[in-house]
Amino acid sequence: MNRRAFFATATGAAICAPFVASPAHAYEEQVRLRELYNNDMSFTDFALEQEGKRVAIEGFMAPPLKAESQFYVLTNRPMAVCPFCSSEAEWPNDILAVYAKRVVDVIPFNVMIVTRGVLELGTYTDPELGFVSRVRVVDATQERV
């Protein structure tokens, strides 16, 4: 409930004042996605320290779940779609859900990108997509590395 309120605020703020939330990139910690998770899928100290702060996370944009969306999934390695590995849409554990500032221009799944935005921790179910995430970057922008 709180989280949804936060989203409304964050999105609203972004629309009204798109340039407000753009601190110089040099001040953000830029790390690989794997820096957020330990092997047992607990959050790293880095993730806990950066909660609520702006971060820059390197990873790969998984093929989007739906077109013309502000939502995508960042993966640690390119998300191979393997007919022999998984019979249905099956995500690795170490992913990051991204809620972008605006509709996302799709970047191929095997091109490394950096996603910048505010780090959120804790389980959240997307009311529209039903996508359950444990960690998110919101108010995000992304570009090729």
Partner 1 sequence: MFQRTIVTAMAMTLCASTAIAQDLPQASSEYFTAAQANLEAAIAREPNTNQATNIILFVADGMGVGTNYGIRLFQGQQMGLLGEEHNLVYDLYPNTAIIKTYNINAQTPDSAPTAGAMNTGVKQVFNTINMADTVVHDDCSTESPLRLFSEMLSDAGKSVGVVSTARITHATGAAVYAKTANRNWEDEAPEGCTDIATQLIEQMEAGVIDIALGGGISAFAPEGTELAVGSGGRPDDANLIERAQAAGARFVYDADTLAAADAGAPILGLFSGSHMSYEYDRPETEPSLADLTAAAIEQLEGNGDGEGFYLVVEAGRVDHASHGGNAYRAFTDGVAFAEAVALADEMTDDENTLIIVTADHEHVISFNGYCGRGTPITGLCMGVASGQVEHSGEPALADDGMPYTVVSYTNGAGSVLVEQEDGTYAGSRPEVTQEAAMDPDYLQQALIPMGSETHSGVDVALWAKGPWAHLFGGTMDQEMIFHVMNHAAFGAAE
Residues lying near partner 1 in the complex (CB under 8 A) are found at 32, 34, 38-41, 76-78, 80-87, 90, 94, 108-111
Is residue 84 close enough to count as binding Zn ion by CB under 5 A?
yes
Q: What share of the chain is helix, strand, coil (3-state, %, to 5)?
A: 20, 35, 45
* Interface with Zn ion: number of residues (CB under 5 A): 1
Q: Which does 132 bind (CB under 5 to 8 A by kind): Zn ion, partner 1, none?
A: none
Bin 93: left if φ > 0, else alpha if -120 < ψ < 50, else beta. Answer: alpha
Residue 17 CA neighbour count, 13 Å, CB half: 6
Q: Which does 41 bind (CB under 5 to 8 A by kind): Zn ion, partner 1, none?
A: partner 1
The sign one gets for the Cα dihedral 66, 69, 75, 80 is: positive
CB of 90 or CB of 128, closer to partner 1: 90
CB of 94 or CB of 139, closer to partner 1: 94
